[in-house]
Structure 1
Amino acid sequence: MDSLQCFTFLLGVYVASLGLICATTYIPENLREDIKKVKEHIKIDKRVFGNPVFLRHLENLDSKYQVGLQKLLVHEILDTYTTILRTMKNNIENESVQLSIANIEGAIGVLDKKFLKYKDVKSTLQELWAIKTGDLTMQKKALMELMAVYQKASLLVHKTNENQRKRRQALQRQLL
């Protein structure tokens, strides 16, 4: 076998193994079966649905957000699924399907525990969204804190810029 044939063979083996790695699924077979059972019971017709509910938020996730924000978004999606599944389970009378929904809900709960620290961020965001910005007392309190908040935000931006600069420099050193 000459070097070109050897290279072609090795490239083929590499591409084939890469395909297997990319095709790896993290969804257990029993969870797949439970999801399939619920879908069949609900009688989902794909033609009825236009825009996706959750998948559109996950498209290009890596390029849109940093890892922490990606995890926060995924946590929120999983939390929403838990609420949806609970509602479905309460509205379905078939015990077998209820059990499948409970299994799915449990699997989502186990996965969502990996994102537990983001529940604090969620509650903080909810508190911030609940602030009554039109209230005069709240406006006065906000003005009292503005310099400290601005200072912290500026420091965070500076740290982020500094970290990005250090990563660029490290990358440039590696390339040299």
Structure 2
Amino acid sequence: MDVLSRAVMCFCLMGWMTLGWSNAAQYTSINMKRNIDKLKVHYKISKDQLFNGNPVFPKDTFEDSEQRVLMSVVLDVYLSIFSQMLNQTGDQEVRERLDQVKGKVQETQKHYFLGRVPELRTHLQNLWAIKTSDTTVQGKALSEFITIYEKASKLAHEIHLKKDNRRKRRQAQRLKSHIM
């Protein structure tokens, strides 16, 4: 294969990877897309409202383990939104489409994301509700600090080791591919 053919193939592959992999719709059925398109027509909002620079669910840069928790909560919010929409509409066709979409979200969440997220959410809400200005809370927090800090340090070390091991595996694979 000549250099030009390799360059064209590389360019096509890069384009396919960028466009193909970034396309979130590749896992969405035609029926689901059709339902969403019909619902968007029914719940139409102005372009100014749609493209105001403030998405409902902003993009994030969390790691895989964090993404699972985050996605479960996002799907939970969608279920709540769809439930509200169902309660607010009398249109039978809209209700059927919302039921179908909501069912798919529930199925996806149940099979891939649910786990212990409800308990985790409750735990996080309790943590955010701690009254940090309360002197009793401050005293208790100080007495628990060393134990918590040791646990956090151990977890940070384990995360660092996993990242380091992944880096070493990638380097070994690169070296192996260059040798062959």
TM-score, length-scaled by structure 2: 0.77
State the partner residue of 2:147.
148
Corresponding residue SS for 2:132? coil
CA distance in 1, matches of 2:6, 2:163: 39
Unaligned 5+ segments in structure 1 are none
1:32-64 C-alpha deviation (Å, 9 max, x unpaired): 121122111123332333124235x22xx4xx2
**Aligned partner of 1:54 among 41, 53, 56:** 56
Do 1:82 and 1:109's aligned partners in 2 also have CA atoms closer than 8 Å? yes
**Distance 1:96-1:172 versus aligned 2 partners, 3 A rule:** closer
Q: Cα distance, 1:9 vs. partner?
A: 10
1:132 alignment partner, SS class: coil
Residues 39, 173 of structure 1: alpha-carbon distance in 2 compared, 3 angstrom cutoff: closer
Task: Using the TM superposition, give the Cα deviation of residue 17 of structure 1 relative to its aligned residue in structure 2, in angstroms.
Answer: 9.9
Q: Letter of the aligned partner of 1:11 in structure 2?
A: M
- For 1:88 and 1:124, locate their aligned partners in 2 and report how far apart those are by CA, in whole Å: 28
In structure 2, the residue matched to 1:132 is 131
Q: Could you tell me the percent identity over the aligned residues? A: 29
Q: 1:8 to 1:148 in 2, by over 3 A?
A: closer
CA deviation profile, 1:104-125 (whole Å, cap 9, x unmatched):
1111111222111233322221
Which residue of the partner structure matches residue 104 of structure 2? 107
Equivalent pairs counted in the alignment come to 169
- Cα distance in 2 between the residues matched to 1:107 and 1:97: 15
Q: Deviations over 1:41-97 (max 9, x none)?
A: 123332333124235x22xx4xx2210111222222211111111111111111110
**TM-score normalised over the length of structure 1:** 0.78
Q: Provide the C-alpha distance between the structure 1 equivalents of 2:36 and 2:4, rounded to a whole number of angstroms.
A: 45
> Distance between the aligned counterparts of 1:163 and 1:139, measured in 2?
34
Per the alignment, do residues 120 and 99 of structure 1 end up closer, same or farther by CA in structure 2, a change over 3 Å counting?
same
Quote how far apart the aligned CAs of 1:21 are: 5.0
AA of the residue aligned to 1:128: L
Query: Which residue pairs with 1:90 in the alignment?
Result: 87
